[in-house]
Amino acid sequence: MTSEYTDLFRPFAFHNGLTLRNRVIANHTKRPFALGYRISPEEREDGGYRMPDICALVDGLIAENIDYLHVSLNDVLGARPLGADTRLTVEHIIAHVDERVPVLAAGMLRTAAQAQAALGLGLSLIAVGKGLVMNPDWMALAESGCGAQIRQELDLSERKELLLPEGLWQAIEAAPGWIPTIEVDRKPTNVPSR
């Protein structure tokens, strides 16, 4: 392990944590068990991680035998590293990983076309978060070519049908804008009698 790598992540007992997890998997699981690691490579504030730090972290994770890397971004198809790099952040990471492990990504993938575009960058898998909250049938809509029906807001008038857990509703209400909402008026319109 290089000193750059240990210096960077010593505060998080990073190496020990992963080694311990690998030992637990080896000793206590009977079936194949995937160990992945999720990174959020978008610390824009002063002193935040930059792309060279992320690449060093990724190399360290792969050296620790992770099975996959999951990249969490604000916007997979829009986020670019600070500085002069013109590539997307996710493209940068895909190129750096260079097929050593599968790379997954999440962030602002709402439509089937966006999902396809993200997969086209070379990702092994994509994750859909809020899109799935707004559309419990997201997969069926995307697969059946009905992508135009994928909603971009959570329809509050469908509160009962959506079957979201109460705790999630509370989180949505506590953080306006986290998941865009609308309330469609579904009352039948009164047709004036003649």
Ligand X SMILES: Cc1cc2nc3c(=O)[nH]c(=O)nc-3n(C[C@H](O)[C@H](O)[C@H](O)COP(=O)(O)O)c2cc1C
Query: Given the rule CB under 6 A, which residues bind ligand X?
Result: 38, 72, 106-109, 128-131, 133, 168
Q: Which helix (H) or strand (E) holds 181?
A: strand 181-182
CB of 118 to ligand X, least distance (A): 10
- 158 to 134, 135, 163, 179, 190: CA distances (angstroms): 10, 11, 9, 15, 21
Q: Please, which residue, 135 or 185, has the CB nearer to ligand X?
A: 135
Q: Please, which residue, 1 or 168, has the CB nearer to ligand X?
A: 168
Place of tokens 């697969």: 143
Q: Please, which residue, 73 or 97, has the CB nearer to ligand X?
A: 73
DSSP state of 68: E
CB of 73 to ligand X, least distance (A): 7
Q: Which residue is nearest to ligand X (CB)?
A: 129
Separation between Cα atoms, residue 97 and residue 121, nearest integer Å: 13
Tokens of 47: 């002193």
Q: Which residues contact 19 (CB under 8 A, 6 or more apart)?
A: 64
Q: Please, which residue, 88 or 128, has the CB nearer to ligand X?
A: 128
CB of 86 to ligand X, least distance (A): 23
CB of 63 to ligand X, least distance (A): 23
